[in-house]
């Protein structure tokens, strides 16, 4: 896709979806993948620490082992639900690990940047916030390229740490299923399947103090 054909950032934000079922089965080509990773790597970060790394996973054996683990975690979650929620959850697909063909595991290192990271002294979580901003950049850039991303968090951290040989100070933050898609759904899956609806913007905006609608401008 040429730069002039790219979506505006507002279009990409509007179109972006968590993708599970719409992967075509083709593997995203490496030049597109690199552009997406470059967008991720341009994210802001506390103290310019850039505490993220990206582990590309395409080995079918690794994809299969992770998918089996996620299936087990899905089962455990389903069993923890009351009957009516279990029924609603049942048809919801929560990953496209094998079909997407590429897993990008985004990791976070809290030791990156040394001990005096500018801006992190008072709010240690700013480190992980930075890594999550890289994920959002990645997600929007992928959308602009017509590439789907599905975030999988149904895993035990020690399992994924061992699967990928992550060093002691590096923790996985997300497994992202990444691949070309047939289409982007217009409504989030969880809404389509009756699990949970989006909140209206009005409910999320507060003026001056939390929960003071009387202070909103006329
Ligand atoms: C931190 C995080 C973890 C998520 N984990 C999962 C997951 O394990 N499986 C899944 O199907 N979707 C997962 N999602 C996707 C959300 O369900 C999805 O973003 C939300 O329902 C809104 O839909 P949309 O992204 O299509 O707008 C995750 C999203 C985030 C931000």
Q: Note the pLDDT of residue 215.
A: 85
User: What is the rounded distance in angstroms from the CA atom of residue 106 to the CA atom of residue 52?
Assistant: 7
CA angle 203, 143, 163 (to 5 degrees): 95
Q: Taking residues 96-111, what's their average pLDDT?
A: 98
Mutate to test the pocket of ligand 1, among 104, 151, 171 (most ligand atoms within 8 A of CB): 151
Q: Which pTM was predicted?
A: 0.96
Q: Note the pLDDT of residue 213.
A: 80
Q: What is the pLDDT of residues 175-202, one digit of tens each?
A: 999 999 999 999 999 999 999 999 999 9
Checking if the pLDDT of 1 tops 80, the result is: no
**18 alpha carbon to ligand 1 midpoint, in Å?**
6
20 in ligand 1 pocket by Cβ < 6 Å?
yes
Q: Note the pLDDT of residue 28.
A: 98
Residue 59: other Cβ atoms inside 10 A: 10
Model confidence at 92, pLDDT cuts 50, 70, 90, reads very high
Checking if the pLDDT of 3 tops 70, the result is: no
Q: Note the pLDDT of residue 216.
A: 85
Task: State the closest ligand 1 atom to the C-alpha of 95, by its place in the atom list counted from 1.
Answer: 11
In b/e form, how buried is each residue of 150-183, taking b as 16+ CB within 10 angstroms? bbbebbeeebbbebbebeeebbbbbbbbbbbbee
Q: Note the pLDDT of residue 218.
A: 82
153 in ligand 1 pocket by Cβ < 6 Å?
yes
User: What is the rounded distance in angstroms from the CA atom of residue 169 to the CA atom of residue 147?
Assistant: 31
Q: Taking residues 119-130, what's their average pLDDT?
A: 96
Residue 134: other Cβ atoms inside 10 A: 26
53 in ligand 1 pocket by Cβ < 6 Å?
no
Q: Note the pLDDT of residue 102.
A: 98
Range list of H helices, the chain: 9-15, 30-41, 60-80, 83-89, 97-100, 126-144, 157-163, 189-192, 201-204
Q: Note the pLDDT of residue 4.
A: 59
37 in ligand 1 pocket by Cβ < 6 Å?
no
Q: What is the pLDDT of residues 35-76, one digit of tens each?
A: 999 999 999 999 999 999 999 999 999 999 999 999 999 999
- How confident is the prediction for the chain on average, in pLDDT? 96
């Amino acid at each position: 896709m040429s730069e002039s054909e790219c979506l505006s950032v507002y279009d990409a934000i509007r179109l972006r979806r968590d993708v599970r079922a719409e992967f075509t089965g083709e593997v995203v080509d490496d030049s597109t993948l690199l552009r997406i990773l470059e967008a991720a790597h341009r994210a802001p970060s506390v103290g310019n620490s850039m505490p993220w790394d990206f582990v590309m996973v395409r080995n079918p054996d690794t994809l299969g082992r992770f998918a089996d683990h996620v299936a087990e975690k899905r089962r455990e979650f389903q069993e923890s639900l009351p009957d009516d929620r279990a029924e609603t959850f049942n048809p919801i697909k929560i990953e496209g690990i094998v079909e997407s063909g590429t897993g990008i595991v985004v990791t976070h290192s809290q030791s990156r940047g040394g001990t005096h990271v500018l801006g992190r002294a008072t709010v240690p979580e700013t480190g992980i916030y930075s890594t999550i901003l890289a994920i959002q950049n990645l997600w929007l850039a992928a959308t602009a390229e017509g590439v789907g991303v599905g975030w999988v968090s149904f895993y035990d951290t020690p399992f994924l740490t061992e699967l990928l040989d992550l060093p002691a100070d590096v923790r996985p933050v997300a497994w992202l299923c990444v691949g070309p898609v047939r289409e982007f759904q217009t409504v989030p899956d969880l809404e389509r399947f009756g699990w949970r609806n989006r909140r209206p913007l009005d409910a999320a905006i507060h003026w001056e103090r939390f929960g003071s609608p009387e202070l909103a401008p006329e």
